[in-house]
Structure 1
């Protein structure tokens, strides 16, 4: 609100000043000061109550000035900002003189609700015309404030800031107090930069200029900062066709440029990794197109992931195999292409690699565009610089042929096992006949040894058959309730007969009925016991326990033999795996524990090992019985 004292202070000035009402576009005059009445040679009567357009009309103003004045009044109210009009030609009606050049100051007055119901309009006499170009472009005033990029108009050879929008002020880190100042006065940091020269070139030649991604040194937050900008300089000409101002449009593209730089850095890192994979005599150029060409030329699938494990690049081989472009493959991730049966294990290993920063290695089947799955060996290593993991570089190698050969090998083993089993059955039968008919017992020792070796061959062949059945998914399980304690005791008694040098002690055996395949679970216990005997040649006892923990049956077999190193424990249950130093000391094909692990897995059980080299091992397995 305007108090009497403030009112007197505002209007008791030497420049003509009037108070306008904002209601409607007539802008009614509420008060005119003495200076205004004196300039109008009307010192006696006030013009209060009349529309401003009674004062400013086609008789004393140009039509462009009238449009410009109306737009500026409206814009001042909408923006709640003080605005200026320069070079406003106006002839006071009572003077009878020619038109005079005025500077108009338009100040919105806000009420307690933050709304401007009034405008103070002040006229200041200009000794000479300040600008000429903007009068030819009154429509720009309203456009400038609403355009979504930085925009301003610089007038005259000194590049005085005539009009500027909020977007440009934010980009410069300046406020609207700079309006009316020359460019180098409010942005002195541009003095030794190329931009003032470019502006003068446009002003002189009348030819527009634009550039993309230019580096500008600006004072932002009190510090000189490099900013990347797209900008254009467009000359504005007056009615005589002479350039009198320049329209400047600018946009901050720093984030885009930095993104391109990061992409370039990734390309350079890919170059370094590719050099390790390529032939030593092949020289690589450090440009992105050649890098991608070389990666696409590799027969392997090549990919990268960021430090968080998200896929961010695949080569053309991946796209050709899957039948999708790069963006689609990255958008889907590996989950869309990995076989459902292999997905859980591959994700678990990938999560472990991300947590530990260790090499990622796994095998999985990938879905090709022809609808078939093919086996791949996937391997990825982290790229670490200065202790920071930057990205993962990975390759997928097609091992479908190896897998096919492995399958053929299993088929061969199966056939060979059956072929061996047929004559072995005959030999066993004849041996039994010899034992029954031999009266002199002269060949008893040889016959017994023959029977033992035949039994050994039978076990080996049986193991081979079980492995082929497991690989083919054809091993059958007959699940039915049985007395687990009775099975455990009988298995211990059977193994004890073949191990006279060891004492197998059953320290604890819970009475429980278990649902499962009795024969297969007996096979697990038998394998654990025979392994304990085999790998404790100097041991005298083996301890067996079975306990019940909640709804799980826990069975342990403890020996006091050679023990197992930590690095070998996790691999003992792999097919054909034998601890290196003991491979030739102890018989067997390394299949027993692999078969046992598969049997336990099919019973929703699991297993683990506790061992100390030189002191023995304890093998555990767990079965759910709830």
Structure 2
């Protein structure tokens, strides 16, 4: 039987169509299997796909009528076929021809859904081109010519005023045009630049091997180069750190295949960040030493408390101890952030039971918040090979945030499950929620949502640290949320491989 399953899996992985399987018995119908073609079509890796609901492929384009058809099909347990707009990991639009079919058990209950998708972008493009060809050819050429002339003049003005270096290359990587910012930034003339191959400019200063590989091997596949960091020593201007974005654009007619390159000089920004990180590390360490002494003295005062001490004295001492602990937590967070930035955070990996770790995290939170209602469902029954202390820190941080940002609610839901060779933990609150624009930045260092800065104290490092910890454990951490409807933070961790589970 296992041999047959292996054959079936090999067949699925050899298929050109993307295939996924979702578990309808779990909340939010998460993906538990995807084949290689699905990874290729979407641009996401297997580990980034498992545990998500397939709606993540629509990103923010969620008002398509086809989504209602899919939702009705899943709710009624029936088949459906739709053509829907999806987006790759790089944000590129592709049209997806999606077939959804339910899998039922012997009692007729829908346990899983199988989704088969095909990229029909080329077909859609051909359909649109056919419609356009039906228009009047002469009128189209006249309007297009006028539009090109106007756009060329307009875009040329914009390119010259942009405070970023811009280049246009042909398909052989010869420079067709550059803006004034490029010429002034790299101390070159237009005669030394235009008409020359990019990699031969000057003293071959742009003949940078990683950049050459990206432009010559990746761009021809239509994959853009996004925020690629290059550090290089240039004549006359010294060492520069640059952020490059490059796109291959296909035009009709004489402008066939152009490469657009935007270069942002981030040398000063990197130096400022380095200084901030140095200050953060030094300040945190320097603060830690006196704080440890203060904490020890407060503990000593608490143990040596006179019997005739007033209630005011006792309560004041208790408040001092609480605020010392809070300050200690803040400094510890800053130290963790500093270690992550410098790459010095250490992982002490050992096998541990994730169910036990979750339970201990819940008990710790309930001890400090006895009126809290935590609804726990599911269990992993799995061992994780990782740093249990760091994973505990993630769970504690997510639970603490669920309480902090739900001032009008005392309810939290926690769901634990297995998805493929991962465990998935979802923590749902019923609080203020997160806006669409803030969701993309919520895991950034020191980021705080605009509507929470004044109402809720904090430095904006807890989620950043949690995200880095989960990433270092080869898992993913993400959030789904709507303003006023609460938030669900989910993360996955790979299950430890043993002789029993392969």
Match of 1:396 in 2: 263
Cα deviation for residue 584 of structure 1 reads 1.2
Equivalent pair of 1:553/1:623 in contact (CA under 8 Å):
yes
Cα deviation for residue 602 of structure 1 reads 0.8
Match of 2:376 in 1: 506
* Structure 1 residue runs without a partner (length 5+): 1-261, 280-297, 355-359
* Structure 2 residue runs without a partner (length 5+): 1-144, 498-502
2:301 aligned with 1:466? no
CA distance in 2, matches of 1:537, 1:601: 30
CA deviations over 1:444-464 (Å, ceiling 9, x no partner): 211121111111111111111
Give 1:164-563 correspondences, 5 Å limit: 272-276=154-158, 278=160, 301-304=165-168, 313=176, 315=178, 317=183, 326-329=196-199, 336=208, 338=210, 362=227, 364-368=229-233, 374-378=240-244, 394-438=261-305, 439=307, 440=309, 442=311, 443-563=313-433
The one of 554, 572, 590 equivalent to 2:442 is 572
Structure 1 residues 580 and 484: CA distance shift in structure 2, 3 A: same
CA deviations over 1:245-286 (Å, ceiling 9, x no partner): xxxxxxxxxxxxxxxxx9xx999977654533557xxxxxxx
Match of 1:230 in 2: none
CA distance in 2, matches of 1:464, 1:343: 36
Structure 1 residues 375 and 536: CA distance shift in structure 2, 3 A: same
Structure 1 residues 384 and 579: CA distance shift in structure 2, 3 A: farther
CA deviations over 1:36-82 (Å, ceiling 9, x no partner): xxxxxxxxxxxxxxxxxxxxxxxxxxxxxxxxxxxxxxxxxxxxxxx
Cα deviation for residue 563 of structure 1 reads 1.2
Cα deviation for residue 414 of structure 1 reads 0.9
Structure 1 residues 385 and 411: CA distance shift in structure 2, 3 A: same
CA distance in 2, matches of 1:536, 1:311: 57
Equivalent pair of 2:174/2:196 in contact (CA under 8 Å):
no
CA distance in 1, matches of 2:304, 2:398: 37
Matched length: 332
Equivalent pair of 2:159/2:166 in contact (CA under 8 Å):
no
Equivalent pair of 1:609/1:618 in contact (CA under 8 Å):
yes
Cα deviation for residue 399 of structure 1 reads 1.3
Larger RCO (alpha carbons 8 Å, 6+ apart): 2
Equivalent pair of 2:391/2:469 in contact (CA under 8 Å):
yes
Structure 1 residues 363 and 574: CA distance shift in structure 2, 3 A: farther
Structure 1 residues 621 and 319: CA distance shift in structure 2, 3 A: same
CA distance in 2, matches of 1:268, 1:330: 33
Normalised to the residue count of structure 2, the TM-score between the two structures is 0.57
Give 1:591-610 correspondences, 5 Å limit: 591-610=461-480
Query: CA RMSD, aligned part only?
Result: 4.3
Equivalent pair of 1:339/1:373 in contact (CA under 8 Å):
no
Equivalent pair of 2:477/2:492 in contact (CA under 8 Å):
yes
Structure 1 residues 482 and 441: CA distance shift in structure 2, 3 A: farther
CA distance in 1, matches of 2:227, 2:441: 15
2:487 aligned with 1:620? no
CA deviations over 1:218-251 (Å, ceiling 9, x no partner): xxxxxxxxxxxxxxxxxxxxxxxxxxxxxxxxxx
CA deviations over 1:184-236 (Å, ceiling 9, x no partner): xxxxxxxxxxxxxxxxxxxxxxxxxxxxxxxxxxxxxxxxxxxxxxxxxxxxx
Cα deviation for residue 515 of structure 1 reads 0.2
Match of 1:582 in 2: 452
Cα deviation for residue 380 of structure 1 reads 7.4
CA deviations over 1:466-498 (Å, ceiling 9, x no partner): 111111111111111112111111111112223
Structure 1 residues 567 and 334: CA distance shift in structure 2, 3 A: farther
CA deviations over 1:290-334 (Å, ceiling 9, x no partner): xxxxxxxx995321257x99885464759879x999315289999
Match of 1:36 in 2: none
Equivalent pair of 1:309/1:392 in contact (CA under 8 Å):
no
Q: Is the partner of 1:511 in helix, strand or coil?
A: coil
Equivalent pair of 1:339/1:367 in contact (CA under 8 Å):
no
Equivalent pair of 1:382/1:389 in contact (CA under 8 Å):
no
Q: Is the partner of 1:581 in helix, strand or coil?
A: coil
Cα deviation for residue 585 of structure 1 reads 0.8
Equivalent pair of 1:481/1:513 in contact (CA under 8 Å):
yes
Structure 1 residues 399 and 429: CA distance shift in structure 2, 3 A: same
Match of 2:60 in 1: none
CA distance in 1, matches of 2:321, 2:210: 50
Cα deviation for residue 591 of structure 1 reads 0.5
